[in-house]
Amino acid sequence: MTRGKFLFVPWLRVIATLAILATLLPTARAGEQNLKPVRVSDHVWYVQGDSGMASAANQGFNSNAGFVVTRDSVIVIDALGTPPLGEALVVAIRQVSDKPIRRVILTHYHADHFYGLAAFKAAGAEVWAHRAGREYFTSGEAAARLAQRRTDLFPWVDEHTRLIEADRWLDGDTSFEAGGLHFRVSFLGPAHSSEDLLVSVDEDGVVFCGDILFAGRIPFVGSADSKRWLAAIDVLAGLKPKILVTGHGAHSTNAGADLTLTRDYLLYLREQMGKAVDEMTPFEEAYARTDWRRFSKVPAFEAANRINAYGTYLTLERESLAK
């Protein structure tokens, strides 16, 4: 009995130790992302997220964020989708420059683009976004999305994650100079979101377009104003930027060509769901009869397409009633 007792107690200690380590693993994993900045011009870098939807597999890293190193400061565009990713982005910036991070400009207030803001506030940065983004916090959408992310992206989003509003809410277009570079911030919403902003770096011919362009994957449409989104794409193509840094996917050096997938997908959604609305066909029947083969192999199709189609169906119903 004595011998068995002494054998049993160490095993209990081993099991208890393993249990404690298991509770610590999420915290350890939360800081694992090693972001590699991609340089696209003399002053501009960005980091590229996974091509799919935000998930535990990619730790919420499915969007892009960029930064511009000026003579005396760093300007950041978007902050990624979890607090640890925001911290990792600061580390990535520090691989390139030790200049102070002065400002973060949000292209829009969707979770995958701003949940990393806390790291930048801790670094002393000021946050800019368009005033239309304030509705995100007052409509209940912010709280609902945070609850979903705490479930789906734990431990990278958890009970300590806080949502940060802009320090400066923009009313429309603006411009500023920082460290010898000239920036133009242009309002294109409502399109993908109600508050879509473009950020142009004049000297480098670079435009950050947020989620106006999803490169190499199906865009998330949801309840977006797809009609205005298509108009925004035309505006963006007309700018003819040398380099277009997208909200998702690789940067583009041929904006006209690379905008084609997003434009064609939105047009097809509107065509097919518009036909269903005109014929008063129920959504499920319309969705089942639609030929999706052109887009079905594109990344994020399975996760996003039904949501997109249903949102577009409802949007076109509203447009029809408004005529």
What are 77's two structure tokens? 């565009």
pTM of the model: 0.87
Q: What are the angstrom distances between the C-alpha of 289 and each of 272, 282, 283, 285, 292? A: 10, 11, 10, 6, 9
**Residue 32: what pLDDT?**
65
Residue type (1 letter), 312: T
pLDDT > 70 fraction of the chain, expressed in percent and rounded: 90
Res 16 pLDDT > 80: no
What are 244's two structure tokens? 């277009």
User: How many angstroms separate the CA atoms of 52 and 220, rounded?
Assistant: 11
| pLDDT per residue as tens digits for the range 243-301 | 999 999 999 999 888 899 999 999 999 999 999 999 999 999 999 999 999 999 999 99
| pLDDT per residue as tens digits for the range 38-85 | 999 999 999 999 988 899 999 999 999 999 999 999 999 999 999 999
Cβ contact 188:232 at 8 Å: yes
Closest CA to 310 of 291, 278, 284: 284
**Residue 284: what pLDDT?**
98
**Residue 51: what pLDDT?**
85
